[in-house]
Amino acid sequence: MSTRKAVVAGKYYPSKGEETKKLIDYVEKKEVNNLAHIVKAELDVLGGVVPHAGIMFSGYQAVHFFHYIIDREFDSVVILSPSHTGRGPEIAIDGNDEWEIPGAVFKTDKQFIESGLLEVSSESQMGEHAAEVMLPYLDYFRPDLKQISVITIRKVDHPNTEKVAQALIEYEKQSGKKLLVIASSDFNHFQTVEEGRAKDDLILEPIKNKQENEVLERVRKYDASVCGYGPIVSLMAYARLKNPDARFGVLRRGHSGEVMPSESVVNYISMLCSVPRKKE
């Protein structure tokens, strides 16, 4: 059995499981007055966008997404990860049998891995933090959801994001499982608060308008350092194929300067991808 061991425990989150839970609990309580007030009964959740910095930095945004899905039913979680390391194929589903973080073990979805829909590689997530950082939140908010698939998107272009989306749709048909799809991404890096927010707005607009190609074009045109734009566009494509009524909304936005004051900040935004429930 192959196990993907935690590589950023003690850096992005505490090295002990109980300490991690205490940290998330602290962040959630700090955010209690800001937690998104959306009528849950009116929306079916397909997934969302979640930042992947250290919990002490981007947890204030991330908890909004995970708090929202506390009482939702899912069979398996798919984490769409960017590549910060440049390792592995252009697109790959992680082939490990399980992922381990302090205090918790997640089994991978072997049915998805063995489906042949995506190339299998464990190299893509070697030294990568973007998917791993989602796991402490899942363990805290949804300890029942312990089956995951991690898909790394190293090369971002329209054919690749479409391929990921098609694979997700096809796997749902084959397996009958209800997936929760998480796009792991921070937003603009190392600019002033004003500059970063302006660039974020340029990217948020086509996300909300469901314009996949426009997101790809604007990231390049404006040199926007949205590290997980590949996962975001893949989630957009999946949502389009899943339900044309799918929509994206911002849950919470902020930046690292709110935790550690600086003139140069990293921006964090959590988003919900959902479908309005039809009234009977």
- Per-residue pLDDT of 103-123, as tens digits, reads 999 999 999 999 999 999 999
What domain range includes position 132? Answer: 3-276
What pTM value is reported for the model? 0.95
Q: Return the CA Rg of the chain.
A: 17
For 10-24, b where at least 16 C-beta lie within 10 A, e where not — what string? eebbbeebeebbebb
Residue 38's pLDDT is: 58
pLDDT digits (tens, 9 = 90+) for 82-95: 999 999 999 999 99
pLDDT > 80? residue 34: no
Is pLDDT larger for residue 40 or for residue 48? 48
Tokens 């989602």, residue located = 134
If one counts the domains in the chain, the total is: 1
Decide if 42 contacts 1 (C-beta within 8 A): no
Average pLDDT rounded to a whole number, residues 97-101: 98
pLDDT > 90? residue 36: no
Whole-number Å distance between alpha carbons of 229 and 251:
18
CATH number at residue 254: 3.40.830.10
